[in-house]
Amino acid sequence: MMTDDAVLKNNSFIHFSALRLRAGTWLKLSYFLGEGPAYDVEFVAAIHGKSIFVSQPDTPSGGIRVGGRYVIYGFNGTSEFTFTAEILQLQGGPFFYAQLTYPDAVEVRVVRDALRVNVSIPTLVTPDSSASRVSGTIKDLSVKGAMVESVVPVGRIGDRISLVFSTEINARGEVILDIPARIIYVRKHDTEGIFRSGLEFGHIARDDELILYYLLFTHYAKITNEVGAAIMQLKKNATL
């Protein structure tokens, strides 16, 4: 049963329109049978019940083809969503886009708890009360906060700071995120000579939030695929 309710249950099926996607929302598109790479595309528009439109992948050959069936997945800010669609048309310049079939249903899973992933992302931390910046490395990340390692403290508990770092989105290239946060703990590890600071994010700009979800989902999907491949190899070895 599909629903248009604002509050969605885990693993629900909803109408595509209930996602309320905005133009520019980042999606991942991969071949239905799991062959080949996944591509980064942007949602462009939808004609209810008829078609949806996304940007074409930023690759030399485009990578996708008319008639191919693909799995599209991403975040709408509160939920993971997945649906399948067939490519009807590839439009050439000056505006390169792909026209896809309108999905019959979309599977969604509400992200109730903040997904946390291990990362290693260089960052600059700027206290609100100072113009000085501290270099560090984000070691784990979620949509609610992060842990940063640095050789000097990024601040004191309770300080408000800005966390600035970059990430790559294939269809757009490098993007810079500037996230407000509050320091909730600082711990010094004498044996390693580093400080570990826990940050709680404040109000994140909508575009930065979607990019952050996309970044987390990409890291999580990569880890999940690696674990899945390792399990399959172990099962294969066990049968030899």
What pLDDT sits at residue 208? Answer: 84
**Both tokens assigned to 111:** 């992200």
Mean pLDDT on 70-82: 79
In 120-205, alpha helices (H): none
CA angle 53, 83, 103 (to 5 degrees): 55
Task: Enter the DSSP assignment of 203.
Answer: P
Taking only the tens place, the pLDDT of each residue in 199-215 is 999 888 877 887 887 78
**Both tokens assigned to 193:** 């000579």
**Both tokens assigned to 26:** 């980042």
SS3 category, 57: coil
What pLDDT sits at residue 77? Answer: 61
Around Cβ 113, how many Cβ atoms within 10 Å? 7
Contacts of 156 (CB under 8 A, 6+ apart): 183, 186
What pLDDT sits at residue 236? Answer: 55
Domains of the chain with bracketed CATH = 2-110 (2.30.110.10), 117-224 (2.40.10.220)
What pLDDT sits at residue 5? Answer: 38
Q: Taking the model in full, what pTM does it have?
A: 0.54
Task: Report yes or no: 161 and 124 within 8 Å, Cβ to Cβ.
Answer: no
